[in-house]
Chains A and B, each alone.
Chain A
Amino acid sequence: MGLPCGTYNYSYAKDMAILRTKTHWALFIALLILVFTAPLYCDNYLLGVANLMGITLIAAVGLNILLGYCGQLSIGHAGFIAVGAYTAAVLTGTFELPFLVGLICAGLMAGLVGLFFGIPSLKVKGFYLGIATIAAQFIIIWFINHLSITGGFTGIAVPYASIGGFVFDTEASQFYLIMTIAVLCVFFAKNLARTRIGRAFVAIRDNDLAAEVMGINLFYYKLLAFFIGCFLAGIAGSLLAHWIGFMNAEQFSISESILYIGMVIIGGMGSALGPILGVIFIRLLQQGMMFIAPMLESAFPALPAGFASGIAPMLFGVVIVLFLVLEPRGLSHRWMLFKASYRLWPFSY
């Protein structure tokens, strides 16, 4: 299953490896080279979109661990990102601490806040937990708006990221910073998913009764999932703060939280590839929508007023609905099917 013809496993190490064949390695290295040379042939705008995707990906990977693997619905992810963003903003902006300190503290702070809001998960599941985590969203934003250290409603400016005197002040340097961290996060998440902790998470998701009887401490692992998921959200928040340069609580609305869930679902819950595909899909779609109204208005001046600008969100909705109807198991599942059929081609079985 799942291997190209003629590839056999002669050791468990090989069976467990992610990259099995020379082709895998070649493609993987080619992809990494392609990604890390992007600044050579992309303009600032495309790099900006890529940076946004990288930041979003880190947060989505976190949510995927929480929701996709451990099955704990969190509708407050944007709130946890906000915790990270503001922690980094305050530490590096107000207290002028180094970027890396801010980054780690942002992750830890978001993780701790996540732990607190994860406590209801011990008693409630599914949509009930979802409702409980919505509270996190509102409480966090309320605090940000009413604390003076966060700049209240006005917001807070954030300096560029810098490591040891090197300032990430161009889009390209930020791209390297963000992509490196994003690649590391995906790598960590994939490893976590395929080892002991990951199996415990999936066990809790699929059958929490059996998981407990098989010796998995639900209390510990549910909270661990919240901690890891929110830690990554905090890391993403820190990068977002340094990238945009200005934080305002309104940037972390509940619709952002829902969008993150959408990305994880569309990409494919509980797969390493899922968040990557989901983030690329949603962010590209959003960027596309950004262009579509001006294009329609200039191409068809006779359109009734408001039609062109109304079509973008409609199209956005239609594409997502179509997606959920036609591929409810996410893009990563579609990718697996494609790979399988590609390997068997031209035979039908």
Chain B
Amino acid sequence: MENGNQTKLRIEHLSLNFGGVHALNDVSLEIKDNEILAIIGPNGAGKTCILNCISGFYKPQQGEIYFEGKKITRMRPDKVANLGLARTFQNIELYTGLSSQDNIMAARHVLMKQNFVSGSLYFGWAHKEEIEHRELVEDIIDFLEIEPIRKRVVGSLPYGMRKRVELGRALALEPKVLLLDEPMAGMNLEEKEDIARFVVDVFEGQGVTYPNNPTLRDGVTCIVLVEHDMGVVMDIADRIIVLDFGRKIAEGTPDEIKSNPEVIRAYLGQEAK
């Protein structure tokens, strides 16, 4: 699947203001295929704002976002999702009243073809389609090792499990680009390692282990990871972009970032002297 490092998402001169607050200030960046890109930065740097602009939640005042060459700035969120962008949220945003399995099934929405007539008749077409999609969802459940909580209502699940279900829901959308907003926030080391492993496994693809599920088989070749924690990011990211106060201050491989004085200053606040 070597498609070369073509650009998947291109962000040009993005500016976002809330009243007088500049959340993003002339940010330009490119997200390429075949890489895990990490966006890091201190609190309030504007990391989540970028994801929200991509998803269509925020309407930036200036700048444009292109997905595979198509302009998606200020597009409605559900249309963005239909193009193949899936994401998770910093504060878990699951459908609390549904079971884990149905949460993931709900993400198959864009890929299913039933309408309310065939759905309410059920037997026949809808039944067949439900089973087809259920099989794909079960692959994801198996991959994320959440079989025991398949039928549990997610509102009652522990935090780490809900994070996994949310990842599963994003995978079920069969995304071309996966946007992960702090997938490891609030976790202990063991849980962080689990999630990191899932992210890497998804990126690499599982091949014959899940032959029928295209996402798991081929992997999601473009992952954007917004993280607060430097450690994990350094280990799994191919490239890192650092934001501070809504501005891009550095971009490069993990090694370049580690030694970048701007980054060190932003994180350790040397300028305060």
In the bound complex, do residue B105 and residue A199 qualify as a contact, i.e. CB atoms below 8 Å apart? yes
In the bound complex, do residue B131 and residue A16 qualify as a contact, i.e. CB atoms below 8 Å apart? yes
- Chain B: minimal CB distance from A188 (Å): 4
In the bound complex, do residue A191 and residue B114 qualify as a contact, i.e. CB atoms below 8 Å apart? no
How many residues of chain B are within 8 Å of chain A by beta carbon?
A: 45
In the bound complex, do residue B81 and residue A214 qualify as a contact, i.e. CB atoms below 8 Å apart? yes
With the chains together, A192 CA to B130 CA distance in Å?
Answer: 12
Cβ–Cβ < 8 Å partners of B95 in chain A? 199, 202-203, 205-207, 210-211
24 A-B Cβ contacts within 8 A?
A12-B134, A191-B119, A191-B122, A191-B126, A192-B116, A195-B114, A195-B120, A195-B122, A196-B108, A197-B114, A197-B120, A199-B95, A203-B95, A203-B109, A207-B94, A207-B96, A210-B94, A213-B87, A213-B93, A215-B82, A216-B78, A217-B76, A224-B116, A228-B116
With the chains together, A197 CA to B122 CA distance in Å?
Answer: 11
A169 in the interface (beta carbon within 8 A): no
In the bound complex, do residue B57 and residue A192 qualify as a contact, i.e. CB atoms below 8 Å apart? no
With the chains together, A195 CA to B107 CA distance in Å?
Answer: 12
In the bound complex, do residue A196 and residue B107 qualify as a contact, i.e. CB atoms below 8 Å apart? no
Contact mask for chain B residues 100-117; partner A; CB cutoff 8 A; 1 contact, 0 none: 001001111110101110
> Given the interface contacts A192-B119, A196-B112, A197-B116, does A270 sit within 8 Å of B82 by beta carbon?
no
The 3 tightest CB contacts between A and B, nearest first, are A215-B81, A191-B122, A215-B110
With the chains together, A210 CA to B106 CA distance in Å?
Answer: 11
Cβ–Cβ < 8 Å partners of A218 in chain B? 78
Cβ–Cβ < 8 Å partners of A213 in chain B? 55-57, 77-78, 80-81, 87, 93
Contact mask for chain A residues 152-180; partner B; CB cutoff 8 A; 1 contact, 0 none: 00000000000000000000000000000
B248 in the interface (beta carbon within 8 A): no
In the bound complex, do residue A12 and residue B135 qualify as a contact, i.e. CB atoms below 8 Å apart? yes
By beta carbon, the residue of chain B nearest A195 is B119
B151 in the interface (beta carbon within 8 A): yes
A209 in the interface (beta carbon within 8 A): yes
B239 in the interface (beta carbon within 8 A): no
Cβ–Cβ < 8 Å partners of A210 in chain B? 89, 93-95
A280 in the interface (beta carbon within 8 A): no
Cβ–Cβ < 8 Å partners of A13 in chain B? 127, 131
- Chain A: minimal CB distance from B77 (Å): 4
B24 in the interface (beta carbon within 8 A): no
A212 in the interface (beta carbon within 8 A): yes
By beta carbon, the residue of chain B nearest A224 is B116
Cβ–Cβ < 8 Å partners of B78 in chain A? 212-218
In the bound complex, do residue B151 and residue A199 qualify as a contact, i.e. CB atoms below 8 Å apart? no
In the bound complex, do residue B106 and residue A207 qualify as a contact, i.e. CB atoms below 8 Å apart? no
- Chain B: minimal CB distance from A118 (Å): 15
In the bound complex, do residue A214 and residue B94 qualify as a contact, i.e. CB atoms below 8 Å apart? no
Contact mask for chain A residues 209-234; partner B; CB cutoff 8 A; 1 contact, 0 none: 11111111110000010001000000
- Chain A: minimal CB distance from B51 (Å): 10
A198 in the interface (beta carbon within 8 A): yes
- Chain A: minimal CB distance from B129 (Å): 8
Cβ–Cβ < 8 Å partners of A206 in chain B? 94-98
With the chains together, A36 CA to B135 CA distance in Å?
Answer: 38
B189 in the interface (beta carbon within 8 A): no
Q: Is the interface of A mostly helix, strand, loop or mixed?
A: helix
B47 in the interface (beta carbon within 8 A): no
Interface centre among B82, B94, B116, B130 (most CB of A within 10 A): B116
With the chains together, A212 CA to B260 CA distance in Å?
Answer: 38
In the bound complex, do residue B121 and residue A191 qualify as a contact, i.e. CB atoms below 8 Å apart? yes
A67 in the interface (beta carbon within 8 A): no
In the bound complex, do residue B120 and residue A192 qualify as a contact, i.e. CB atoms below 8 Å apart? yes
Interface centre among B97, B102, B106 (most CB of A within 10 A): B106
By beta carbon, the residue of chain B nearest A218 is B78
Cβ–Cβ < 8 Å partners of A15 in chain B? 134
Partner of B109, one of A205, A209, A215: A215
- Chain B: minimal CB distance from A230 (Å): 14
A305 in the interface (beta carbon within 8 A): no
A310 in the interface (beta carbon within 8 A): no
B26 in the interface (beta carbon within 8 A): no
Cβ–Cβ < 8 Å partners of A207 in chain B? 93-96
With the chains together, A203 CA to B96 CA distance in Å?
Answer: 9
Q: Which A178-192 residues sit within 8 Å CB-CB of chain B?
A: 188-189, 191-192
By beta carbon, the residue of chain A nearest B115 is A197
In the bound complex, do residue A205 and residue B116 qualify as a contact, i.e. CB atoms below 8 Å apart? no
Interface centre among A189, A209, A228 (most CB of B within 10 A): A209
By beta carbon, the residue of chain B nearest A220 is B78
By beta carbon, the residue of chain B nearest A200 is B109
By beta carbon, the residue of chain B nearest A206 is B95
With the chains together, A188 CA to B126 CA distance in Å?
Answer: 12
A304 in the interface (beta carbon within 8 A): no
A1 in the interface (beta carbon within 8 A): yes
A2 in the interface (beta carbon within 8 A): yes
In the bound complex, do residue B126 and residue A195 qualify as a contact, i.e. CB atoms below 8 Å apart? yes
Cβ–Cβ < 8 Å partners of B81 in chain A? 212-215
